[in-house]
Amino acid sequence: MMATAGYIDDSCSEIIDPPKTEVLDVTELTDDHIQQPPKPNVVVSSSVRDLLECPVCLSAMYPPIHQCSNGHTLCSGCKPRVHNRCPTCRHELGNIRCLALEKVAASLELPCKYQSFGCSGIYPYYSKLKHESQCQYRPYSCPYAGSECTVAGDIPYLVNHLKDDHKVDMHNGCTFNHRYVKPNPHEVENATWMLTVFSCFGQYFCLHFEAFQLGMAPVYIAFLRFLGDDAEAKNYSYSLEVGGTGRKMIWQGVPRSIRDSHRKVRDSYDGLIIQRNMALFFSGGDRKELKLRVTGRIWKEQ
């Protein structure tokens, strides 16, 4: 089934909790530690939203919200950037705080920005960012590690993106047998060599195989990632096996969610790690060419 939408978000909003010791204590108005249950959809006037938009960074403003003597507002993050001058009228800003606008914001309830991905919740203004950072409907980042891909979306969208845009090999089944060949194994770069997507148990998994430097030592690593959340990933296990000339190495683990970045998984060494000399030994011959066969299987825990 094709996905309904993709999502690209290059912003990095800072999550700011409501003030606790200032004149305005919005913690009395919202409980920031309890996720609010979904509420009936509401419509907030666009003019009110415009009032809460910083004129410099165009992001939503959170306490402390500053204003000049003429009433023009901006967020605390942008105040140092404008050298204490109002970006609207150029008057000196001083240290005037717009408590009225902060109180208006505390009275608002807004839909999650991932509403189009299925989230139907309505959240207090000061709790919205925290919810969105953990929302189960937030889009997943593309798991392809061979380029700085900024595409994000739901799982069906990403599967089609991997197949159509990155030309990733797609396989059905819970067992695999892959052969990795490299003519000059002495050239080790921080680059992904192979990404394969498997479909089994109605889910999708990514098998990564690559070379990288572990300290001063060149190594190869293979690991599996789950296209979904961490709670679902823990329902599955996998094993990897590599060997040759009568020897073999076996790894068993739990696939990591693609919520964890490729680099985070790799740098935690959560996979089958093979030293280059051992890999060349498994390859046989004159050791001038890497020829590794990696087999494995995925199963669902009972």
And the tokens for 254?
A: 């739990």
Write out pLDDT tens, residues 184-194: 666 655 445 67
State the Cα–Cα distance between residues 57 and 76, nearest whole angstrom.
11
Contact present, 143 and 258 (Cβ < 8 Å): yes
Write out pLDDT tens, residues 190-223: 445 678 999 999 999 999 988 887 777 788 899 9
Write out pLDDT tens, residues 144-170: 976 678 999 999 999 999 999 999 999
Q: What is the pLDDT of residue 146?
A: 67
Sign of the dihedral through C-alpha 85, 91, 96, 98: negative
Q: Rounded to 5 degrees, what angle do the CA atoms 137, 142, 146 make? A: 165
112 vs 14, more confident: 112
Q: What is the pLDDT of residue 297?
A: 96
188 vs 173, more confident: 173
Q: What is the pLDDT of residue 189?
A: 55
